[in-house]
Amino acid sequence: MNAISLLMKDHKDVKALFAQYEGLSDRSFATKKKLAEQICHELTVHTQLEEEIFYPAVRRPIHDGDLMDEAVVEHASAKELIAQILAMDPTEDLYDAKVTVLSEQIEHHVKEEEGDMFPKVRKSAVDLDALGEQMAARKEQLAGAKA
What is the sign of the dihedral through the CA atoms of 120, 125, 129 and 132?
negative
Exposure class string for 81-93: b at 16+ Cβ within 10 A, else e: bbeebeebebeee
Q: Range of 32's domain?
A: 3-146
Residue 76 CB: number of other CB atoms within 10 A? Answer: 10
Residues 19-71 have pLDDT tens digits of: 999 999 989 999 999 999 999 999 999 999 999 999 999 999 999 999 999 99
Contacts of residue 133, defined as CB under 8 A and 6 or more positions apart, other chains included, come to none
| Structural domain count, the chain | 1
Per the prediction, the chain carries an average pLDDT of 96
Instruction: Note whether 32 and 90 are within 8 A (CB).
Output: yes
What is the band of 118 on the pLDDT scale with cuts at 50, 70, 90?
very high
Taking the model in full, what pTM does it have? 0.94
